[in-house]
Every structure is written in structure tokens, then in C-alpha cells.
Amino acid sequence: MKQKETSLNTTEIKDQQFKQEDMGDNHASFSMETPLRDDAFALDDELKIELIEKHFKEIMLILGLDLNDDSLSGTPHRVAKMYVTEMFKGLDPKNMPAAKLFENRYQYKNMLLEKNISFHSVCEHHFVPIIGKAHVAYIPNGKVVGLSKLNRIVRYFAQRPQVQERMTVQIANMLKEALNTDDVAVIIEADHMCVAMRGVQDVTSSTVTSDYSGKFLDMKTREEFIKMIALQK
């Protein structure tokens, strides 16, 4: 009887793993908010690094790696510090860039585009890199934002486990709120290492997502945006 129950549990576990892996490539069902627990910021950064170091060390040991080797001995700490202070620091709202606005003294009323904003993120399904660039445009509504802030907003949302569709909308929503205008457009082009390194192992494909609102819903404005992206230096 016990053997039968064990066999059933194993089957259920394998079925659950299959469902999770199958869901991992289905982006459509995910919320536009990064999934966070209510106590996500209960621990300070130092304690997070300490705990991640401990657990990553266990992962390395399970994989059979010799942490007595000089090359590997400091890896758990390096990974933990990198996760908290670099790769995933966009999870913490305290690191959100302040989008300071300035008076539009030149009365500029046309499209402003910051293109080819490079970023590195991490796929939340497999925790491997997403490498890409973002094109962000808006039409001023009384005030303008410093150009570097557009880069910082992109990188803020990139520095967390991500889904590209969600990241595109998050960038657009923050800009609309900061600029007090719906006239915002975002296009992201990215290579996903979860596609290149595993599964189909396709190193040539890339993913493109977009978000248009306000005046960018007009086809002529949208076409201007796309043509400006295509302009060569």
C-alpha cells in the first residue's frame, strides 16, 4: 500500500513539474505588477546577502562543486552580493529613480525619443539573462524630464526578475505618472538566454514588445516614432 502511495506522489510531483515548466513559457497570464510577498522588505540588505550566500553555497555543494578550491570559495558571497546590490536592486522601491521635472522653457511640443537604452535583466522563469535595448518616447505636457532619468527608469525595472511584456508596461506606466501625460510610447527589443541556452537553443531570434498610449495611438505619430528609432547616427 505504501509503495502505491509513493508511486502516486511521484506521479503528482512530475505532473506538477510539467505544469510549471509549461507555464514558464506562457507570459500572457501574468500580472503587470512584479510578484512580491507582503514581507518582501522585512530583511535588510546585509542579512539578505548572508542568507543568500548560505543557500547558494548549498546549491553549489549539491552540484558537486569543491568550495575549497580558490576559484570557487568566494563565489557564494559574490553571487549573494551581486543579487542584492546589483541584479535585483530594482525590487526595492527605495531604489526607484526620482523623475524630477523641469520647466519646458523652449516650449518644445514635439516627440522626444531616447533610443537604444541598453539594459540587462533576468528571466523570472529560469533566472538567466535577458539582454536588450529600450526605445522610450513622450510628447511633453508642460514639463520635461531629464534625459538620464529615462535610462534610469528602464534599468530600475530591468533590475529584477522579469517578463518582457510586464517590463514594457511598467516603464510606460511610470513615465505616464511622472510626466502627467498619456502620450508615451515604449518599445523593447531583447535576447532571452532562456531561449538561447536551453529548450530550443535558438541564438538568432529576439523578442519585441511595445506599449502605446495617448497620441501614440494615432498611426501617424506611431510611424514617426518607429522611423526615428530606425534613423542612423
Residues belonging to the active site:
123-126, 164, 192, 194
Query: Which amino acid, 199?
Result: G
Pairing of strands 161-162, 112-123: parallel
Q: Name the 3-class secondary structure at 64.
A: coil
List Cα–Cα distances, 8 to 2, 3, 191, in angstroms: 10, 9, 40
> How does DSSP assign 173-216, residue by residue?
HHHHHHHT-S-EEEEEEEEEHHHHSSTT--SS--EEEEEE-GGG
Instruction: Return the axis-axis angle of helices 75-82 and 45-62, rounded to nearest 10°.
Output: 130
